[in-house]
A and B are shown apart, each in its own frame.
Chain A
Amino acid sequence: MTMDRQTRDQSHRPVDAEPLLQIKHLSVDFRLATSVVHAVQDVSLTVHAGETLAVVGESGSGKSATALSVLGLNPTPPCVYTGGEILFDGHDLLKLSEKELGRIRGRDIAMVFQDPMTSLDPLQHVGAQVAEVLRHHTGMSRAEAREAALDALDEVGIPDPAQRYRQYPHELSGGLRQRVMIATALVGRPRVLIADEPTTALDVTVQRQILDLLVTLQHKHDMAVVLITHDLAVVAETADRVAVMNKGEVVESGDVLDVFDRPADDYTRRLLAVTPRLEAA
């Protein structure tokens, strides 16, 4: 097992390195007026530097609630963190103040979502939004930030960045908007990128481009990626390791080859069996 990982792992981390991000026994409830949803129950996940961990499960399985917990982004109330810890750089993120978390967001850990419109400002030019994030993280001057933002748009494959800089999000296609969101997430050079269903709303050809882009940028910046998806085929294409969630729990996790070859859990087996494949059955 250890040997396997060493031989095929392209990243430079030693196998026994400390995990970069560690979620331990996390439990999250949503306390609603008449009921309590146990959205996340005793979930543990480990993310090493430079690797891709996929979190896969059907809707409502607790993927987003888990991911949002890392940066304290679940709405509180109704969200209550009822147990566990999220360790990053020696801190328990669950114990940090909003101000301390604010320093981690974007700079150490960044997040992208399915719908870029939720995190982009509809009334601001996209280039200015990237520049603003840069200024926030680095204290660059306006002119420096503008230059760096143009580079960032270029890096995520936006054609003609100077012209796109002055466009509003709604003027861009879904794929370009997703690229802008990735640019804003990456300008702070985070060590961990959490991508929550980043390609779910996209056409298949655009999905392919965005997944390729994420992998390229991940290698370039030696970044860990937590990729949240409902699609096992996306897992197969991108992940080093995978955690399968069902009804708030991680039912199985491990090396992606091991889990696909020898799924240990019934739910994983069922998910693999019902996922349609292009190759004839």
Chain B
Amino acid sequence: MSPETRTPAAADRPLLELDGLRKEFGGRNVNVAVDDVSLEVREGETLALVGESGCGKTTLTRLLLRLLEPTAGSVRFDGRDLATVSATELRAVRRQMQVVLQDPYSSMNPRMRITDIVAEPLITHDPAVRGRRGRARARERVGELLEAVGLNAGIQDRYPHEFSGGQRQRVSIARALALQPRLLVLDEPTSALDVSVQATVLELLAELQTRLGLTYVFVSHNLAVVRQVADRVAVMRRGRLVEVGEAEQVFHTPQHPYTRQLLDAVPVLDPRRGRRAAERAPRTSGESR
């Protein structure tokens, strides 16, 4: 990545700063999907955004990716206000922020080969991989990316439908990494996957983060998954952030009643500690919390 697009982050300046973000949808019956959201994301951390469906998580990510114009408020990436940067600069910033969605299949053209799916962002942004000479270079790069996400470089000429959900999610991660971004927005990246596949994808994401120094905004409705991945947690409800804090703090001493309500609702993976623990008392005395 060229030096003019990647300024060394000032140690204490957040990579991403959201300030007073608001998004209204609709005409007469205005729906405030995002309401006065201010949030900072530090370089190298995983900030988890959690909340129930419809609370505005995806809309917030689209605002921060500048795929959607905010009604009010600002987004700063690496110190630059995305509303005021030049078109060239916005392009440069955009390639540093990539997104992985819940259902990779719906965002993949089923008639494109894996190689073209992964190479697409490269071809859009990098003249060096265009043309006949570039083609070989692109394939080489795609091979590296596929291997980085645990896939075989030899699958380049195959089509998405030939792969499982977990493998397709790896393909979309490879694609998101093509431009060497600093920030990955992961919007429910494992919600459509079986738990055993989810575990391997989460493992991959952790490994990539360490190796590449990536910053994650990890969107999920699943608090148990968030518990596993987050450094910090932002809890969203009806467009607003009700609580933001270190993961340890939010899970152990939640400050907002809504956070407590969410945590209490999560089923506990222990037949001695869940709601029916009392019924099981005769066999569990002394072992429960």
Contact = CB atoms under 8 A, between A and B. Distances in A.
A12 interface: no
A10 interface: yes
B52 A275 contact: no
B237 to A, nearest CB: 11
A277 B199 CA distance: 12
Contact of A8 (B228, B266, B275, B282): B282
B242 interface: no
A59 B225 contact: no
A233 B269 CA distance: 4
Interface in A231-245: 231-239
A274 B223 contact: no
A185 B272 CA distance: 30
A276 B194 contact: no
Chain A: interface secondary structure? helix
A276 B228 contact: yes
Contact of B283 (A58, A232, A257): A257
A51 to B, nearest CB: 12
Interface string B275-289: 110011111100000
Nearest to B192: A59
Nearest to B280: A8
A205 interface: yes
B52 A236 contact: no
A233 B52 contact: no
Interface in A199-232: 203-205, 207-208, 211-212, 215, 230-232
A16 interface: no
Interface in A257-281: 257, 260, 270-281
A7 B195 contact: no
B263 A7 contact: no
A1 to B, nearest CB: 11
B275 A233 contact: no
A166 to B, nearest CB: 23
Contact of A275 (B195, B223, B276, B282): B195
Interface of B: 52-53, 194-196, 198-199, 221-225, 227-228, 251, 261-272, 274-276, 279-284
Interface of A: 4, 7-8, 10, 58-59, 203-205, 207-208, 211-212, 215, 230-239, 256-257, 260, 270-281
